[in-house]
Amino acid sequence: MAQYRVDEVAAAVVEEPRESTCGSPHLQMKARPILDAIADETDPGLSRLKTRNYEMHNRRSVISSGLALMALGASLRSAHAQRAGAPAEGSHGAMTLQECIEACLKSHAMCLETARYCMGQGSSHVSVPHLALLLDCAEICQTTANSLLRRSPQHRVVCDACARLCEACALDCEMFPQDAQMQLCARTCRDCAQSCRDMATMPL
């Protein structure tokens, strides 16, 4: 078989015009497949190496295709999560519905706790305007959370009102700079105000 292939190479050389040299591209193109076949037959180890290289190339192609599909799937899941109003994986962007609800409920509880705290402190802590603002803020935060939970079509109006009242309550609580409870209430109300401002600009 090898002798037959050598004869084919010789024939290919003979067919090449006399003015061509052994290094001509045309000759190399005709002889290369025959030389490769002879090498495979005379050196089985080389043939197995070629087979392994081919298999490795196929594996890399399959892995690359799999990674591309995984990336596409992650992108589709992220887009679906954003359309549904849920936070996308690894996302720290716009306020989500659930985050705003949690901020409202947290502010509601904090304002009630602070009102009870103030009544135990006396003095300026129990001024009528101050206590009224704490209780009004607690009420609007609960109302806003309920509105968002039922996907009210009026959520923009409710969220805007909640943001304004929470901001006013935060400013009032900051009038007690040495009181840790009042400062904590101020931060909680301000966080809720920002959440509601963001939610007021978003559709449900």
Position 188 in a domain: yes
* Per-residue confidence (pLDDT) for residue 18, from 0 to 100: 47
**Token pair in block for residue 95:** 């306020």
**Confidence band (pLDDT; 50, 70, 90) for 191?**
very high
* Per-residue confidence (pLDDT) for residue 92, from 0 to 100: 44
**Confidence band (pLDDT; 50, 70, 90) for 48?**
low
CA distance 138 to 113: 10
**Confidence band (pLDDT; 50, 70, 90) for 204?**
confident
**Token pair in block for residue 66:** 């799999």
Question: Where is the domain boundary, 32, 54, 83?
Answer: 83
Same domain, 73 and 106: no
Same domain, 66 and 117: no
Same domain, 27 and 78: yes
Position 88 in a domain: no
- Domain range holding 195? 97-200
CA distance 107 to 113: 10
Helices (H) and strands (E) in the chain, counts: 7, 0
Average pLDDT over residues 114-127: 93
Position 91 in a domain: no
Rg of the chain over all Cα atoms, to the nearest angstrom: 38
The average confidence (pLDDT) of the chain is 77
Q: String of b and e for 146-170 (b: at least 16 CB within 10 Å)?
A: ebbeeebeebbebbbebbebbbebb
For the question of whether the overall pTM of this predicted structure is more than 0.75, the answer is no
